[in-house]
Amino acid sequence: MIEQPCTPDFAVRRDLAVRIAKSAGARAKSFLSRPEELRASEKSSSQDLVSAADKMTEAHLRRMIKRSFPFGGVVGEEAGRKTGASGFD
């Protein structure tokens, strides 16, 4: 593993990623106690499923990223790619 220098910008982005991941993980975990909201549907095939929890968790991640980095890009499994102007896509 190559260690990244901990520049101020890198540290801010790393810390944000950890906070966002924990928040999204807690949100996704909350769906386990509400199985009726886990309805899955097919995306591209019967092997490729997406649930309401998947969509809502990704939307939460995107909102949190956009709030902190309005010019940043995001790549997600459910909603695809949004190119930003920050150079961090």
Residues 15-36 have pLDDT tens digits of 988 999 999 999 888 888 887 7
Q: Which two tokens stand for residue 71?
A: 């010019």
Confidence class for position 12, pLDDT limits 50, 70, 90:
confident
- Predicted pLDDT of residue 19: 92
Q: How many CA atoms lie within 13 A of 27 on its CB side?
A: 17
Which tokens sit at 65?
Answer: 């990223």
User: Does residue 8 carry a pLDDT above 80?
Assistant: no
Q: What is the pTM of this model?
A: 0.71
User: What are the CB-based long-range contacts (under 8 Å, 24+) for 14-22?
Assistant: 16/65, 16/68, 16/69, 20/61, 20/64, 20/65
List pLDDT tens digits, range 48-84. 778 888 888 889 998 988 888 888 788 787 877 887 7
State how far the Cα of 80 lies from the Cα of 74, in Å rounded to an integer. 8
